[in-house]
């Protein structure tokens, strides 16, 4: 599936698989170093690494810990409160918005991260990162595969699209947030689409026809603008 996605869409970055589990995997290594953010793990998976994390590996990212429902110790809980207060003070976030931020319902235990073609478990969510045209094609294929973008565009934080997709069973798009762009090194011209793991096979099958249709339609529209317009009436 990954080969098809990358070949058809010309993606620069591997799609990744994220799976949550209540038990530590026995045949996968735990991440060897705690990251400063949860979305840093996205980048490691996109670079080809297969690993799992446990709750303590997410203590360094209070915002990501909130969306993933990681139980934080007192010190990190205090840091989360401080970060929220800073964001509110900068008018980046309103206090009343917090309750509406998507959050996993189950308490976080373990998560497996991998490039899509190397995932050892069925994904809960697949993340695709690309430019506007690439994400447009995936979104059109998702709609054709009845995995419509019911969540719309998820605002900050970017990691909130993970629980949004898991809860709805529908795709979600994110333009990224400044924290994600720093930690994952997301280029200015790229964004994300998150897909329920159960929908990926159908979506990949639809991408073939969607890419072909867009190619034909592009030629059609280009021919239209190259036609000589009728001379205006005198």
Work out how many domains the chain is built from and give that number: 1
Compare 131 and 90 and report the one with higher pLDDT.
Answer: 131
CA-based torsion, 184, 43, 200, 198: positive or negative: negative
In a domain, residue 103? The reply is yes
Structural domain containing residue 20: 2-226
Cα separation of 207 and 89, whole Å? 44
Beta-strand pair 110-115/190-196: unpaired
Q: Cis before residue 136, ω within 30 degrees of 0? A: no
192 vs 129: CA distance, rounded Å? 5
Residue 234 lies in a domain: no
Centre a 10 Å sphere on the Cβ of residue 3 and count the other Cβ atoms it contains.
10
pLDDT at 211: 85
CA distances from 174 to 87, 128, 141 (A): 19, 10, 17
Q: Is residue 233 part of a domain?
A: no
108: pLDDT strictly greater than 90: yes
User: pLDDT per residue over 140-186, tens digit each?
Assistant: 888 877 656 666 788 789 999 999 999 988 899 999 999 899 999 99
Of residues 85 and 169, which shows the higher confidence score? Answer: 169
Structure tokens at 19: 């799976």
What residues contact residue 15 under an 8 Å CB cut-off, 6+ apart?
2, 5, 6, 46, 115, 116, 126, 127, 128, 129
The fraction of the chain above a pLDDT of 90, given in percent, is 46
Residue 233 banded pLDDT, cuts 50, 70, 90: very low
pLDDT at 147: 59
């Amino acid at each position: 599936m990954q080969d098809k996605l990358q070949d058809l869409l010309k993606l620069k970055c591997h799609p990744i698989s994220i799976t949550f589990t209540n038990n530590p995997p026995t045949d996968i290594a735990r991440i060897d170093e705690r990251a400063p953010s949860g979305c840093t793990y996205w980048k490691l998976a996109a670079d080809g690494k297969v690993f799992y994390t446990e709750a303590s590996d997410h203590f360094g990212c209070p915002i990501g810990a909130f969306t993933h429902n990681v139980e934080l110790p007192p010190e990190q809980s205090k840091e989360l409160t401080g970060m929220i207060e800073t964001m509110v003070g900068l008018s980046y976030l309103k206090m009343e918005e917090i309750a509406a931020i998507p959050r996993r319902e189950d308490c976080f235990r373990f998560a497996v991260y991998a490039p899509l073609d190397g995932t050892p478990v069925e994904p809960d969510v697949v993340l695709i990162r690309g430019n506007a045209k690439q994400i447009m094609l995936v979104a059109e294929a998702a709609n054709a595969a009845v995995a419509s973008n019911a969540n719309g565009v998820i605002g900050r934080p970017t990691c909130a699209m993970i629980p949004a997709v898991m809860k709805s069973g529908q795709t979600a798009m994110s333009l990224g947030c400044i924290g994600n762009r720093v930690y994952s090194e997301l280029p200015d011209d790229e964004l994300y689409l998150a897909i329920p793991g159960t929908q990926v096979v159908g979506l990949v099958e639809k991408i073939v026809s969607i890419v072909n249709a867009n190619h034909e339609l592009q030629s059609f529209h280009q021919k239209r603008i190259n036609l000589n317009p009728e001379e205006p009436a005198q």
